[in-house]
Structure 1
Amino acid sequence: MSEEKKLYTVSVYTENNIGLLNRISAIFQRRHLNLDSINISTSEIENVSKWTIVLQLSEERVKKVIGQIEKQIEVIKAYYHTEEETIYQESCLFKIKSHLLFDERQIQNIIKESNARIVTVNKEFFVIEKSGRKEEIELLHRELSVFGIMQFTRSGRIAVTKDEMKISKMLEAFQH
């Protein structure tokens, strides 16, 4: 019997070294795992990067992947979390023809109701920014698609855990 696949958010704390992205992505490639998203940023600790990786697989497989990631010399610690254990957001930008902002009153209502905001407006186009859950962004995309989207881009997930992360204590050593 195969184990149930779930969406997991994997948090990886690393030193910031050249070549690490290739080695970590190879771990997923060798196992034929497709990532939903990946985001790499600075963490709460100076000189330590935090990777947020979202993928769908069984808990048994995610544990094995974490084990492989932690074998990389620059990796300090890796964790996995379920949807219920994290607070997360994604961000996106929509580029739309400017005349629609004035000709189609509905667009202004869509922007307001979705809690999106207009970032810039010029003669040719305007840009809308929206942060939220994946479902909120997908809904806004569907609503705006009717009018025509010139460009669209979405970030990877960023997430924090609801519970305290023990990593903060562990990482204090890296600040000295």
Structure 2
Amino acid sequence: MEKETKLFTVSIYTENNVGLLNRISAIFQRRHINIESINSSVSEIENVSKWTILVVLKEDLMKKIIGQIEKQVEVIKAYYHTEDEIIYQESCIFKMKSDLLFDERQIQNIIKDSNAVIVTVNKKFFVIEKSGRRNEIDLLHRELSLFGIMQFTRSGRIAVSKEEMDISTLLNEFQEH
């Protein structure tokens, strides 16, 4: 019996080198795996980047891909986690017509109920920011879509593991060399 596909959060700790993103994404592309989201940021160690990639696939394939990612010279360490092994957030912003804020009382309730924040208002538009779990952002998007969204953008996932990881020790040793 074949195992089912799951949503995995991949964390990759790397040196910050040109061309690495292309090589990492090619590992997924060769297998026709869509990357749901990708985020790059600094890590807890100076000069080490952390990439967070969200993919849906089978775990046995995930293990093989992690092995291939770790073969890249600039990759220090790569991990994968299931949803219940991490704490994560995503962020998004919506640009909406300003008259909706004043004419549609329901918009104010939607913003309040979703714990979203209005970050700017002017005569033509207002901007709402929401951070949270993926399903919370999806719900807010569906609700606001009924009123017409002028612009929408969403960040990639950011995540930390629930379990303590040895990566900080590994990164400190890496930096000392």
The interval holding the TM-score normalised by the smaller chain is: over 0.9
Provide TM-score, normalisation by structure 2. Answer: 0.97
User: What is the identity, as a one-letter code, of the residue corresponding to 1:75?
Assistant: V
In the other structure, the counterpart of 1:42 is: 42
Task: Show the 5 A alignment for 1:1-176.
Answer: 1-176=1-176
* Alpha-carbon distance between aligned partners in 2 of 1:175 and 1:112, rounded to the nearest angstrom: 45
User: Alpha-carbon deviation of 1:124?
Assistant: 0.4
User: Alpha-carbon deviation of 1:60?
Assistant: 0.3
* Alpha-carbon distance between aligned partners in 2 of 1:100 and 1:32, rounded to the nearest angstrom: 42
User: What is the identity, as a one-letter code, of the residue corresponding to 1:127?
Assistant: V
Provide TM-score, normalisation by structure 1. Answer: 0.98
User: Alpha-carbon deviation of 1:175?
Assistant: 3.8
* Alpha-carbon distance between aligned partners in 1 of 2:166 and 2:17, rounded to the nearest angstrom: 23
Please list every run of 5 or more consecutive structure 1 residues that lacks an aligned counterpart in the other structure.
Answer: none
* Alpha-carbon distance between aligned partners in 2 of 1:138 and 1:46, rounded to the nearest angstrom: 34
* Alpha-carbon distance between aligned partners in 2 of 1:69 and 1:109, rounded to the nearest angstrom: 45
Deviant stretches of 4+, over 6 Å: none
* Alpha-carbon distance between aligned partners in 1 of 2:173 and 2:36, rounded to the nearest angstrom: 32
Secondary structure of 1:73's counterpart equals coil
Secondary structure of 1:139's counterpart equals helix
How many positions carry a matched residue from both structures? 176
